[in-house]
Structure 1
Amino acid sequence: MAKKVTMMDIAREANVSQTTVSLVLNGSNAVQISEETRDKVYLAAAELGYKKSETVLKRIESKKIALVLDSVSDNDPFIDAINTIWSAGWENDYFVSTFYSGNNPVLEKQIQTEISCNNSYVGIIYASSKTRKDIELKIKTNLPVVLLNCTSIDSSIPSIMPADLHGGYKATEHLIKKGYKNIAVVLGETWMEATQQRLMGYEQALIDNQLIPKKEYQVEADWSLKSAYQQTKKLLGLASRPDAIFCFSDYMAMGCYQAIKEHDLKIGEDIAVMGYDNTPLGLELEPKLSSVELPYSKMGEEALMRVDLLIQQQPLLQNLINFSSELYVRESTTVNER
């Protein structure tokens, strides 16, 4: 059976956002979209064989999936997962109702009451914007549940996670292959699972290439631009200055860029910089930022597909899926081929 064409597929083909595809295909005039862009979307949809469901509006009130978010922060690439769930829900004839709990027990109880008292809900996606392990699911329900970007102490609940250890390894291995030996890292908060996994990947890549991880090359920031800027200045002040810096987010890489340029060093020539997330802002930097992509869009789509399978009482082949990341190589690590 052929895979159903989604708006995400069309967005990739037309090289536009999912939001643009949704506006065009749903005939919205809420924003001004050029005829050229509309034509690109229609052409991509036709080439992929897209067929819009005619039954959505009839079924929208009887098939609801609750998307429960524990938190959302500024400049968070996790919004890609949320957008994809909304889009994929529409594509699969579900209305996705979004709740924000903020890890607040009172709100969690109210959300549980809303879901349990409304018979139109058929499934739940519980999502954490921060990668977390072994959470205790506070919302009790008999409905199918899928966890996104987190795992539960109850291992029977299906979970979707990013392979951050693999991503950290990939980024570091790329720098080593380019000839860099003194590779530093600007960490996120060290208590966080994402930081720990990426750091493990970084250290393992060094060890596998006969390089010794150095504690002075590991500085902790708090995911902010300012902290990354300050910590990069510390790294640049070391007697043995690093020749490459791996930032654990693209946003922190912006602060790293600023500190490096203040030291009159050229990124990609005097020193390499690697990011993580592969957000659009990395393409706005000069030089363009090499980065590891967080596969949040794919994870969001998979969450919707898996809860749909559970709703249909179909078996899952495995409860835990770890999504690998792609490495995007740009000028910040390749201007100077060492």
Structure 2
Amino acid sequence: MTDVAALAGVSQTTVSLVLNGIAEARVSDETITRVKKAAKSLGYVHAVRRAGNGARHDNGVIGFLVDEISTDPWMAIALDGLREKAAATGLDIMTFVTSGDAEAEATAIRTLGKLNLKGLVYGTIQTRAVTLSNAVMGQQTVLLNCYLADRSVPSVTPGEVVGGRSATQHLIDLGHRRIAIIQGEEWMDASKDRLKGYRQALAAADLGFDERLVRPGNWEPSAGYTQTQELFKLSEPPTAIFCSNDLMALGCLEALKEMGKSIPGDVSVVGYDDREIAQFTHPPLTTVLLPHFEMGVMAAELLLERIDQPGLQPAQLKSECPLVVRASSGKV
């Protein structure tokens, strides 16, 4: 699949959507044709497609164990992708919110075992390393938005470093040289990786790293608001601000407006996540898509492949985080 993506000039996520027949609403006809042509030229036959119409999986169930599903939309979006892919192969999804509790996980798996359990997708609302209970380790399992430290179980996580780099590179391409970043909580994988991508983009453009332009945050609008005010106390304030999520970008936009700054005339702003609200800010927010729907599809695909071929090596997949350009970013 990686070879097909390289030949077609698209992401592995796009290849997955096209070859699973669920790309029509998200991918152009020209891209679909290009992916199929690349797959044919390489002789690539999709493993799940070899299962035919899904009859071999009929009446089976995939368990979706998740630590949290209500505080943020991410696992609900991933569930949509997981369910869409599973339904195409005749499988149902049953979801259990277990809060990472081993006893709750064991109870869920016992319930699933009465329903012809085929395997588990184990998801977390925050991208992080996990320790799996014995009950989960005893099943065919794929990790979603999390991973084991020893990488012994297949996983699907977002490509956060590339996402942070693409957001920063976008601002560099617009001519910005003083680019600030407002981080999330520093101990979290997402915050560390987005900062790493930011630093990589600066280094590739021969722009010096200025610690004064790196501000601590907490994912909330209040942090974006407060840290934007702090940035404009500098003798050389930034001309662009990369906020590590859309909620902090909302606070950033509000602070800039209160200071009388034009967006993007005086300051460009880029967020991260592509929450629904991002398209309704004034101006609409340039951001990076956190691809949880595609990750759900990829997790289902990995699990189905392992059901068909139990001896496969535990793949560790990164899903592309594409840039979504709107009106909050512009040239210097």
TM-score range for the pair, normalised by the shorter chain length: 0.7 to 0.9
Aligned-CA RMSD value? 2.5
Normalised TM-score (structure 1): 0.79
Q: Does 1:12 align with 2:26?
A: yes
**Cα distance in 2 for residues equivalent to 1:203 and 1:3:** 35
Aligned: 1:68 with 2:79 = no
Counterpart AA for 1:151: Y
Classify 1:244/1:159 alpha carbon distance in 2 versus 1 (closer, same or farther; 3 Å).
same
Of structures 1 and 2, the one scoring higher in RCO (CA 8 A, sep 6+) is 2
| Alpha-carbon spacing, 1:55–1:187, altered in 2? closer, same or farther (3 Å) | closer
Secondary structure of 1:331's aligned partner: coil
Is 1:103 equivalent to 2:100 in the alignment? yes
**Which letter maps to 2:219?**
W
| Fraction of identical pairs, as percent | 30
Structure 1 residue 272: deviation in Å?
Answer: 0.5
**C-alpha spacing 1:183/1:76, structure 2 compared with 1 (3 Å):** farther
Establish whether residue 187 from structure 1 lines up as the match of residue 187 from structure 2. no
When normalised by structure 2's length, the TM-score is: 0.80
- What CA distance in whole angstroms lies between the structure 1 residues aligned with 2:147 and 2:172? 32
State the alpha-carbon separation in 2 of the partners of residues 241 and 55 from structure 1.
Answer: 58
How many Å apart are 1:11 and its aligned residue? 3.6
Instruction: State the distance in 2 between where 1:240 and 1:262 align.
Output: 19
Whether the aligned pair in 2 keeps the contact of 1:66 and 1:97 (CA below 8 Å) is: yes
d(CA) in 2 for partners of 1:274, 1:248 = 8
CA offset digits 1:58-95 (Å, max 9, x no partner)? 976x3010001022353444432121112222222111
Read off the aligned partner of 1:72 and give its amino acid letter: I
Question: Can you give the 5+ residue segments of structure 2 that lack an aligned partner in the other structure?
Answer: 1-17, 29-51
Please point out which of 205, 211, 214 is paired with 2:201.
Answer: 205
Cα separation, partners in 2 of 1:73 and 1:241, compared to 1, 3 Å: farther
> Once superposed, which parts of structure 1, at least 4 consecutive aligned residues long, lie more than 6 Å away?
53-56
**Aligned 8 A contact 2:66 2:75 in 1:** no
Deviating more after overlay: 100-109 vs 222-231: 100-109
Counterpart position of 1:26: none
Corresponding residue of 1:293: 289
Number of residue equivalences: 291
**Structure 2 counterpart of 1:94, from 88, 91, 100:** 91
The CA distance in 1 between the partners of 2:111 and 2:259, in whole Å, is: 56
State the partner residue of 2:238: 242
Residues 193-232 of structure 1: pairs in structure 2 closer than 5 A: 193-232=189-228
Is 2:171 aligned against 1:175? yes
Query: In structure 2, what is the Cα distance between the partners aligned to 1:13 and 1:214?
Result: 39
The separation in 1 between residues aligned to 2:102 and 2:316, in whole angstroms, is: 26
Q: Distance in 1 between matches of 2:73 and 2:222?
A: 16
Cα distance, 1:270 vs. partner? 0.4
| Equivalent position to 2:136, from 136, 140, 145 | 140
Distance 1:203 1:150 in 2: 24
Q: Secondary structure at 1:238's aligned position in 2? A: coil
